[in-house]
């Protein structure tokens, strides 16, 4: 059974995302004053999701910390393939 891990380590998150061809994004229309809103990771296999806007890692992690988030991710699927499962959750205090 594949398990998920939780991290707040920026380097671990960035490496995991980039290894899978992903990039940091924000949901269009959710930010204010030029800052990102709702964070997402996009895996543009068939092109960019039109509802998402790419952002720089620096801006991504600034919002990540501001929102007090943690990154839940799975390294491999149950059958051993590279997993793209991830989501943002509240960070434990």
Per-residue confidence (pLDDT) for residue 1, from 0 to 100: 64
Domain ranges, residue 36: 4-90
Helices and strands of the chain, counted as H and E runs: 2, 6
Give 50's pLDDT tier (boundaries 50, 70, 90). confident
How many domains does the structure of the chain reveal? 1
Q: What is the pLDDT of residues 51-71, one digit of tens each?
A: 899 999 999 999 999 999 999
Spatial distance between the Cα atoms of 55 and 79, rounded to a whole number of angstroms: 32
Spatial distance between the Cα atoms of 73 and 76, rounded to a whole number of angstroms: 9
Task: Give the global pTM.
Answer: 0.89
List all residues 6 or more positions away from 34 whose beta carbon is below 8 Å from its beta carbon: none
């Amino acid at each position: 059974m594949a398990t998920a891990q939780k991290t707040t380590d920026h380097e671990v998150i960035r490496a995991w995302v980039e290894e899978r061809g992903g990039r940091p994004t924000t949901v269009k229309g959710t930010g204010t004053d030029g800052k990102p809103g709702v964070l997402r990771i996009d895996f543009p296999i068939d092109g960019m999701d039109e509802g998402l806007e790419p952002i720089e890692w620096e801006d991504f992690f600034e919002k990540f910390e501001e929102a007090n988030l943690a990154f839940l991710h799975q390294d491999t699927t149950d059958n051993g393939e590279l997993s793209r499962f991830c989501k943002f959750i509240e960070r434990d205090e």
